[in-house]
Structure 1
Amino acid sequence: MKIDVKEIKIENYDIFTYRRIRRAIGYLGFLLPIFLVGFSLISFFQTKIQPSISHYYYTNLREIFTGTLCAVGLFLIRYKGHGNKSIWKNDNLLTNIAGIMALGVALVPTNPEDISQKIYTFIPSTVTWLGWLHYGFAAMLFLILSLLAIHVFTIGQEKDTREPKSILHENNIYRTCGYIILISVILVPVSAALELFTYSTLTFEALALFAFGTAWLIKGRALGDQGKIGEKLYQEHNSVDTEKVFEE
């Protein structure tokens, strides 16, 4: 059987392209709360730390908030994952829905404390239910991201019977991140209702974004897969980074 070297190169190129998309999504999610809060601490931007990530829509950092979410949304829609008979494991379907939800979060803002300060996007209305629609988009986005981490990212290693697996094995990280997202989503309304502590909503939203970003960065092999990292995370024994090999 003759091996088509050209096809192998194209296939590997596609794999590494997907890794780069995953890393881009991961970095955007992970860095969003860092940039928003970090810039809030710099007087030049004239922005106070907000009670939630969503409230940055009404600050001078609005473009960072909406721009990042739109970028994440478009990347998720553009990302073509694997199909599956089970909706809960259908990578392609879930990422498309998540992408639409991310765009919804960006373009349908939460309600400001003073409704007269409402800034319009493409829906010129001050009705309060639009703010609830924003939270609906956000909740759906995070729930789907948790599903992706728990049920989809772990598929490739499900039937891997090689033992022993490190506690840092990628599937353990994906599941941990997924459950952190899920718990954080639940704690957002609970903490707000009980007024647990200052900036509780912002804290749990940031935690969910960190977990989301971490899962996608690990899936995109942001740390590489050479040596101990490859062994611990992916159960692979690579003397060099696989991505660098095919770039040469």
Structure 2
Amino acid sequence: MKTRSKNDVFTYRRIRRVIGYLGFALPILLVGLSFIPFFKTEVQPSISDYYYTNLRDIFTGTLAAVGLFMISYKGHWNASLLKNDQLLTNIAGIMAVGVSLVPVAPETDLQNIFTLFPYQFSWLGWLHYIFAALLFLAFALISINVFTIGQNKAEDIPVSTFNENHIYIFCGSAIIVLMVLIPVSEVYYLFNYSTLILEALILFFFGTAWLIKGRALGDEGKIGEKVYREHNRVP
């Protein structure tokens, strides 16, 4: 039983790391490849607008992968809906798949664009925004309410500034603030590519929380003490 439990822990950590890496990779790949002439794609106003470019497969494929990983991730049950790991990750997974399948409304009248649903239906654009908003909100709730549950507490190790719970709360709070700034930036045009940049930052904070939870930096020595409050000494 102990071996199985230990294997389960490592499996959860690997899945968390994969989800975190995918979150980091999506905006970097889309924007980075936009500067390569071979792909014939300009930097888009938002991440969602990449659906209508030659990089669509990267956009939809990465989001679908995140969604499937989160749905397959069997989190812990909690009586509180806002702390229910299993519920929130399932919601996030379904929303991620929804964002990948239901495109944002195109800014111009595009021809010969094949989608699962005809984009001429104006309400589909709003459905995309609803999926995206619920996805980001689930990211924030998981980081703030779920990841902060059950940390090991070695009494002789003080809580540092870089304690994992501080990181989760900061990342989740940043996601919420950035969510609010996206519609504000659309209305008041705060700066160039504001939606793209704000969405990328949301994915970076999302990825950071999942990578820390997956212990992508390791947990030995000072990292174990400062971040996780654990005595994991380097051999």
What's the TM-score bracket when you normalise by the shorter of the two chains? Answer: over 0.9
The separation in 2 between residues aligned to 1:119 and 1:141, in whole angstroms, is: 25
Query: Residue 12 in 1 paired to residue 6 in 2?
Result: yes
1:97-118 CA deviation, whole Å, 9 max, x = no partner? 1100000000000011113347
The separation in 2 between residues aligned to 1:109 and 1:118, in whole angstroms, is: 15
The TM-score with structure 1 as length reference comes to 0.91
Determine if contact 1:118/1:126 at 8 Å carries over to the other structure. Answer: no
User: What residue is the counterpart of 2:205 in the other structure?
Assistant: 211
Query: Residue 93 in 1 paired to residue 87 in 2?
Result: yes
The separation in 2 between residues aligned to 1:229 and 1:125, in whole angstroms, is: 49
What letter is aligned with 1:213? Answer: G
User: What residue is the counterpart of 1:226 in the other structure?
Assistant: 220
What letter is aligned with 1:170? Answer: E
1:8-44 CA deviation, whole Å, 9 max, x = no partner? 1111001100100000000000111011111111111
Percent identical among aligned pairs is 64
The separation in 2 between residues aligned to 1:196 and 1:117, in whole angstroms, is: 31
Moved more, 36-45 or 133-142: 36-45
Of 138, 141, 144, 2:135 maps to 141
Query: Residue 131 in 1 paired to residue 125 in 2?
Result: yes
The separation in 2 between residues aligned to 1:66 and 1:150, in whole angstroms, is: 27
Query: Residue 36 in 1 paired to residue 30 in 2?
Result: yes
User: What residue is the counterpart of 1:61 in the other structure?
Assistant: 55
The TM-score with structure 2 as length reference comes to 0.96
The separation in 2 between residues aligned to 1:177 and 1:140, in whole angstroms, is: 16
Q: How many residues are paired up?
A: 234
Determine if contact 2:158/2:229 at 8 Å carries over to the other structure. Answer: no
SS of the aligned residue for 1:115 comes to coil
SS of the aligned residue for 1:39 comes to helix
User: What residue is the counterpart of 2:108 in the other structure?
Assistant: 114
The separation in 1 between residues aligned to 2:204 and 2:97, in whole angstroms, is: 19
**RMSD across aligned positions (CA):** 1.5
The separation in 1 between residues aligned to 2:147 and 2:113, in whole angstroms, is: 38
Of 53, 69, 72, 1:78 maps to 72
